[in-house]
Amino acid sequence: MALLEIRHVHKKFGSNQVLTDVNLQVEPHTIYGLIGENGAGKTTTMKMILGLLPIEEGEIFIDGKKVTYGANQTNKMIGYLPDVPEFYGYMSAKEYLQLCAKITGMKSSLVQARIRELLDLVGLAENNKRIHGYSRGMKQRLGIAQALLNQPKLLICDEPTSALDPKGRKEILDILLAIKKETTIIFSTHILSDVERICDDIGLLHQGSIHFQGNMQTLKREHQMEGFEIEFASQSECQTFSALFGAGEQLSLTRLRYTNPQQGDLRQTLDICASHNLIPIKIEQLEATLESVFLEVINDETTPRV
C-alpha cells in the first residue's frame, strides 16, 4: 500500500486554478521528487498534505488515514521541512528540539538520546549558539532534525536545497539519502540534478497537474535518446572522420553527434579510427537526462493540441 496517496485533488485560489486533478502515490522507503517550475503548485500540494490548506475537492491519505484541514491527526505521522524554516532565534538548537519534543508528546525518557542522535546526524551537536546566528544551511539542517524528531513515517521537504550553496546542498542531499531507510521522503524542487542524485520515483508537476509519474530509471529508458557523440583533438581529424563515416550534427569544430544510428555503427566508427590513425578524445553514448525529458514534457503540453 502506498504511504501517501493523493486522489483527484483540485485547488482554486479565487478564480485561479492552481491544481487540476492531481493524483500521486508514494511507496514506503522511497525518495519521491516532486518536480516543477516555480508556481507549478508544489508548495500548495505540500501544504494540503499537511492540512495547512483546505481540501475542497479530492482526498489525501497518509498511511490509509484521511487528511482534514485544521485538525492534525495525520500530522503526527509527518515531519515537515519548510522551504525557509524559521525557528525561535533566541533558543539554541537543543532547546528548540526539546520544545518540539514536548509539543509532539515524546516520552521524556527518550528525548535526550534522540536529540543527541539527530544533532549528530545533521552536524550541529557541538553547537550551543542561539539560532539567530545560524547560516541558511545550518537552519536547513536543524529543520531536518526537527522534522525527524518523532520518527515520522513521511518526511515532507519543500525545496530543501534551493536557497543553499553547493556545499550546503550536498550536505542536505547526503542527509536525505542517509535517512531513507528510516522514513519515506517526498521533496519538491526545480533543481533537476538533485533529483537525479537521490530520487527513486518522480512526479512532474506542470501548470497544476501531474504530467508524468513513475520510476526514474523507467522514465529515462522510455525517453532514451539513441546515438553517440564523438570528439577529436583537432579540426582536421574531425573533418577526415566526417568524410569517411558520413556527415553528422556538427556540435562544434571538433565535435560531432550522430542520432538514429544503425546497428554496428559504433564498431564501424572504431574501425575507421583505427585504420586511419584517428584518435578521438571522447566517444559517448547518448543518455536521456532528466532535463531533456522535462523540457520534452513541457513543450508537448504548451503546444496546443488540435
Binding stretches for other proteins (CB under 8 A) = 50, 52-53, 70, 72, 75-76, 78, 80, 82, 84-91, 95, 99-100, 102-105, 132, 146, 149-150
Where helices occur in the chain by DSSP H, the ranges are 42-49, 93-104, 108-121, 136-148, 166-178, 192-198, 216-222, 235-245, 265-275, 290-302
Shortest Cβ 172–other proteins spacing (Å): 18
Give whichever of 124 and 195 is closer to other proteins, judged by the CB atom: 124
Question: What letter would DSSP give residue 130?
Answer: B
Question: In this structure, what C-alpha cell is assigned to residue 160?
Answer: 530543501
Give whichever of 66 and 132 is closer to other proteins, judged by the CB atom: 132
Shortest Cβ 74–other proteins spacing (Å): 10
CA atoms within 13 A on the CB side of 9: 29
Give whichever of 107 and 305 is closer to other proteins, judged by the CB atom: 107
3-class SS letters over 63-94 = CCEECCCCCCCHHHHEEEECCCCCCCCCCEHH
Shortest Cβ 149–other proteins spacing (Å): 8
Shortest Cβ 143–other proteins spacing (Å): 9
d(CA 254, CA 245): 15
Give whichever of 102 and 282 is closer to other proteins, judged by the CB atom: 102
Query: Contact 41/196 with Cβ under 8 angstroms?
Result: no
Give whichever of 89 and 246 is closer to other proteins, judged by the CB atom: 89
Shortest Cβ 67–other proteins spacing (Å): 12
Sign of CA pseudo-dihedral 137, 143, 146, 152? negative
